[in-house]
């Protein structure tokens, strides 16, 4: 379990994270959602201590990470796996070596054992025949998947993923979402995922924190989110006409009436195909 208490962070004059508190439980996917620039990455880095928050406290399993010294933090960090938004693969190492790196550092396994584990996790992220390639030879989505493989190779207790499926096709994105969900349940991991992908939100959002301009605007789960009355949140999740319709369809099924001012005729018929770019 990770507890975040009143985190604040400013860069020069702009307040990027403004008094955010949250409790992220083990064995579930905790999502941080919000528009681009709302502070998701900064919040995640504040939690793991890559950015030192100006004030507030973070607790891992009840212990104050913020107050720990370097050595105590190292012990926690060995239980953390993290996928960065830009993948952050070591570009002098091949895919295989990247994934094996944490094993080389922290286990006393022999080469065969390590290789087995590497292939196992690469298999789980649907990567084959790329073992000997360098990061510069991979597509963005492949890098993402190698990043995930590296993050989970040591079976972390805490898993952080910064936009795990941005840049992935919907099919692979689904595979990654499923993978994150599976290992979260399987190993009772406390998983924190930054995303603005509504599919992931609906798929894996056991707990959702909506950030708006650095503030916590809403929290809840993927069942509540659809019916939330929060205006800002609704603007975010129903930015796609498609989802708006989906919601209305569902409400129509459940209650027999449409909750807002839209005319039912709008929802049926050719005029309602998703508009360009949506």
Partner 1 sequence: MIKGMFSKPENAKMYWKEFIHQCSEIGIGSLGIVVIISVFMGAVSTVQTAYQLVSPFIPLSVIAQVVRDTVILEFAPTLVCIVLAGVVGSKIASELGNMRVSEQIDALEIMGINTKTYLVLPKIIAALVVIPMLVIIAGVVGIWGGRLAGSMTGILSVSIFDQGLLEAFLPYNVIFALYKAYTFAFIISSVPAYFGYYVKGGALEIGRASTKAVVISCILILFADYILAALLL
Ligand X SMILES: Nc1ncnc2c1ncn2[C@@H]1O[C@H](COP(=O)(O)OP(=O)(O)OP(=O)(O)O)[C@@H](O)[C@H]1O
Find which of ligand X, partner 1, Mg ion, none residue 86 binds, CB within 5 to 8 Å per kind: partner 1
Angle (CA) 140-146-149 rounded to 5° is 145
Please say which residue, 77 or 144, places its beta carbon nearer to partner 1.
Answer: 77
Q: Name which position in 28, 41, 94, 206 contacts Mg ion (CB under 5 A).
A: 41
Q: What is the CA radius of gyration of the chain?
A: 20
- Please tell me whether residue 11 binds partner 1 under the rule CB under 8 A: no
Contact segment (CB under 6 A) with ligand X among 29-37, 115-123, 124-132, 242-250 equals 29-37
Residues 174-203 that bind ligand X (CB under 6 A): 196
- Please tell me whether residue 34 binds ligand X under the rule CB under 6 A: yes
Site map (CB under 8 A) of partner 1, residues 74-113, x = contact: xxxxx-x-x-x-x-xxxx---------xx-xxx-------
Please say which residue, 36 or 263, places its beta carbon nearer to ligand X.
Answer: 36
- Asked whether 30 and 191 are in contact (CB, 8 A), the reply is yes
Kindly give the residue spans of alpha helices, DSSP state H, lying in 49-169: 70-77, 95-106, 111-124, 140-152
- Asked whether 176 and 196 are in contact (CB, 8 A), the reply is no
- Asked whether 22 and 4 are in contact (CB, 8 A), the reply is yes
Angle (CA) 204-169-137 rounded to 5° is 120
Distance CA 252, CA 237 (A): 19
The residue assigned the tokens 């991991």 is: 189
Ramachandran angles phi, psi of 154, nearest 5°: -95, 15
Q: Name which position in 3, 4, 40, 89 contacts ligand X (CB under 6 A).
A: 40
Site for partner 1, rule CB under 8 A? 45, 48, 50, 70-71, 73-78, 80, 82, 84, 86, 88-91, 101-102, 104-106, 160
Site for ligand X, rule CB under 6 A? 11, 16, 34, 36-42, 85, 196
Site for Mg ion, rule CB under 5 A? 40-41, 85
């Amino acid at each position: 379990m990770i507890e975040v208490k009143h985190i604040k962070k400013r860069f020069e004059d702009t307040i990027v994270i403004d008094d955010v508190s949250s409790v992220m439980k083990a064995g579930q996917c905790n999502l941080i959602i919000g528009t681009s620039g709302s502070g998701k990455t900064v919040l995640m880095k504040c939690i793991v201590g890559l950015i030192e928050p100006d004030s507030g406290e973070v607790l891992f399993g009840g212990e104050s990470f913020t107050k720990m010294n370097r050595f105590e933090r190292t012990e926690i960090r060995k239980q953390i796996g993290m996928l960065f938004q830009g993948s952050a693969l070591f570009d002098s190492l091949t895919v295989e070596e990247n994934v094996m790196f944490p094993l080389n550092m922290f286990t006393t396994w022999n080469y065969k054992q390590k290789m087995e584990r590497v292939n196992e996790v690469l298999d789980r992220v649907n990567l084959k025949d790329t073992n000997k390639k360098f990061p510069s030879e991979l597509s963005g989505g492949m890098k993402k998947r190698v990043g995930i493989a590296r993050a989970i190779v040591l079976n972390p207790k805490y898993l952080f993923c910064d936009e795990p499926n941005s840049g992935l096709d919907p099919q692979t994105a689904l595979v990654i979402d499923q993978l994150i969900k599976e290992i979260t349940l399987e190993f009772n991991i406390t998983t924190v995922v930054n995303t603005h992908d509504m599919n992931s939100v609906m798929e894996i959002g056991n707990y959702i924190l909506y950030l708006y301009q650095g503030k916590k605007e809403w929290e809840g789960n993927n069942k509540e989110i659809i019916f939330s009355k929060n205006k800002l949140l609704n603007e975010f999740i129903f930015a796609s006409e498609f989802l708006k319709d989906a919601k209305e369809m569902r409400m129509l099924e459940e209650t027999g009436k449409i909750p807002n001012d839209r005319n039912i005729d709008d929802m049926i018929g050719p005029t309602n195909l998703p508009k360009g770019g949506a």
